[in-house]
Amino acid sequence: MELDDLKNKWQNNHSTNTSTSKQTIMELSQQKSYGPVAALKNVLTKQMVLIPFLVIVLIIQAVRNPSLQSDPFFGLFTGMILLAALFFTISYLILTKMDKQAAPVAHRLKNDIRSLNNMLWCYRLTFLVAIILLPIFVEVFKDMGTMQLMQAWYDIHPVLRIGSYVSLLITSFYFSRTLFNKDFGKHLADLKKNLSAIE
Amino acid sequence: MTSQQRKEAFTQEITGNEALIWKVCRLYGQTKEDQQDLFQEIMVQTWRSFDRFRGEAKFSTWLYQVSINTAISGVRKKKRMIPVAQQDVMPDITDHAPPPEDEQLQQLYTAIGQLNGIEKALTLLYLEDRSYKEMEIILGVNESTLRVKMTRVKEKLKKLIKI
């Protein structure tokens, strides 16, 4: 038995159109999406919730202790939060763009892979910039900081401090990759698998 | 186009092509529940993308693109997607299943079930007697590649049906 032998049988078996009411069609189409892009958006939204929370903490701290406002580390944390907010905004826009299925299958697969790779690049860059800025601020502005906590850090031998910065950089490089793969890796792998099957 | 006109045009087009969506669901969903969930997801995605339909190709061609893209992506569900109250309005999938006594068709479905997402799409379009030109528009792969792939899928299915 070959596929061609079954062609007529297939067509005859499915020749009649069904009759779901127009109201039901509209009701179904207004439901929430459960596709992978919607799932990725949920992951991102959960992480984004942290941003307003951190902004509120920073504002409270700045109001309670006005001298903090001129502290370079306060500026660093504010900058990091803004950087994270920028990353989340870009990522959300990328996912929203991906959430349209009207394109030839191979084109959509390629576009989605490109979008997720751009997101990964953006993710790593955000992490890298934040991690590089941290030791720069800590070392360059060490005489300007007002946080008592930092004094203990400067008492540590410079070689050990530099070693810690390098370890932090290496760890964060792998951590960012692991974190991205945990949240987005499976979908990216599925897309690549399907693309290799179609090409 | 007003919102009401858009809804009207959408339901009109879907009503005329509903069987197409069920065929995709039948091939990609393993259980009746999976198929209903996929049907709902395709409805959601079709509606969201409907403003992109410009009428340059046939609606059925465009709908194949959306349905296959959605089916290949799959549905991520942690619990049953369709709420109990809504299950009453869902069309019964058994209406679209092959008759149980037709052993050949049953065998075909079982064999297709073992193919990957792209192979299923190719098989579906072939069984639907779509031209290679139309397949090219739907899948975004050139005609000669599609012919080679189709030959391989046929061979694979032949082996699977024999087993």
Paired tokens of B5: 């006109």
Kindly determine whether residue A36 and residue B76, on different chains, have CB atoms separated by under 8 Å.
yes
pTM: 0.84
User: What's the pLDDT score for residue B145?
Assistant: 95
Kindly determine whether residue B18 and residue A17, on different chains, have CB atoms separated by under 8 Å.
yes
Q: A33, B38 in Cβ contact below 8 A?
A: no
Kindly determine whether residue B41 and residue A34, on different chains, have CB atoms separated by under 8 Å.
yes
Kindly determine whether residue B47 and residue A30, on different chains, have CB atoms separated by under 8 Å.
yes
Most confident of A18-22, A100-104, A182-186, B131-135: B131-135
Confidence bin at B13 (pLDDT 50/70/90): very high
Kindly determine whether residue B91 and residue A18, on different chains, have CB atoms separated by under 8 Å.
yes
Whether B47 shows a pLDDT value over 80: the answer reads yes
Can you say whether residue A71 is alpha, beta or left, with left for phi > 0 and alpha for psi between -120 and 50 degrees? beta
User: What's the pLDDT score for residue B79?
Assistant: 57
CB-nearest to B108 from A6, A102, A199 is A6
Average pLDDT, chain A: 86
Helix/strand/coil percentages in chain B, nearest 5: 75, 0, 25
- Compute the count of residue pairs across chains A and B with CB atoms less than 8 Å apart: 179
Can you say whether residue B74 is alpha, beta or left, with left for phi > 0 and alpha for psi between -120 and 50 degrees? left
Instruction: Tell me the DSSP string of A67-100.
Output: GGGG-HHHHHHHHHHHHHHHHHHHHHHHHHHHS-
Q: Name the residue of chain B whose CA is nearest to A198's CA.
A: B118
**Which residues in chain B are contacts of A19 at CB distance < 8 A?**
15, 18, 91
Paired tokens of B43: 């409805």
What is the share, in percent, of chain A residues with pLDDT greater than 70? 93
**Number of domains into which chain B is organized:** 1
Does the CA dihedral B79-B29-A104-B42 come out positive or negative?
negative
Buried b (16+ CB within 10 A) or exposed e, B62-74: bbbbbbbbbbbbb
User: What's the pLDDT score for residue A70?
Assistant: 81
User: What's the pLDDT score for residue A127?
Assistant: 85
Average pLDDT, chain B: 86
Would you call B148 an interface residue with chain A, using a CB distance cutoff of 8 Å?
no
Whether B92 shows a pLDDT value over 70: the answer reads no
Kindly determine whether residue B70 and residue A35, on different chains, have CB atoms separated by under 8 Å.
yes
Phi then psi dihedrals of residue B157, to 5 deg: -65, -40
Does the CA dihedral B11-B13-B14-B16 come out positive or negative?
positive
Q: Name the residue of chain A whose CA is nearest to B134's CA.
A: A104
Does the CA dihedral A121-B69-A104-A95 come out positive or negative?
negative
**Which residues in chain B are contacts of A34 at CB distance < 8 A?**
37, 41, 75-77, 81
Whether B69 shows a pLDDT value over 90: the answer reads yes
| Helices then strands, each counted (H, E), chain B | 8, 0
Mean pLDDT across B131-135? 96
Mean pLDDT across A132-154? 78
* CB < 8 Å from A in window 18-47 of B: 18-19, 22-23, 37, 39-41, 43-47
Whether B28 shows a pLDDT value over 60: the answer reads yes
Q: Long-range contact list for B142-149, CB < 8 A, 24+ apart?
A: B145/A199, B146/B122, B149/B119, B149/B122
Does the CA dihedral B7-B89-B87-B91 come out positive or negative?
negative
Domain assignment of residue B23, given as a range: 3-161
Would you call B128 an interface residue with chain A, using a CB distance cutoff of 8 Å?
yes
Kindly determine whether residue A31 and residue B43, on different chains, have CB atoms separated by under 8 Å.
yes
Best of A1, A26, A105 to disrupt the B interface (most B CBs within 10 Å) is A105
Confidence bin at B43 (pLDDT 50/70/90): very high
Whether A196 shows a pLDDT value over 70: the answer reads yes
Closest CA to B128 of A15, A49, A193: A15
Distance CA A33, CA A74 (A): 40
What is the share, in percent, of chain B residues with pLDDT greater than 90? 60
> B88 to each of A2, A26, A27, B83, B133, how far by Cα in Å?
39, 15, 12, 10, 40
**Which residues in chain A are contacts of B132 at CB distance < 8 A?**
none
Confidence bin at B80 (pLDDT 50/70/90): low
Would you call B132 an interface residue with chain A, using a CB distance cutoff of 8 Å?
no
Residues B125, B129, B131: CA angle, nearest 5 degrees: 80
Most confident of A15-19, A71-75, A110-114, A149-153: A110-114
CB-nearest to B158 from A2, A26, A30 is A2
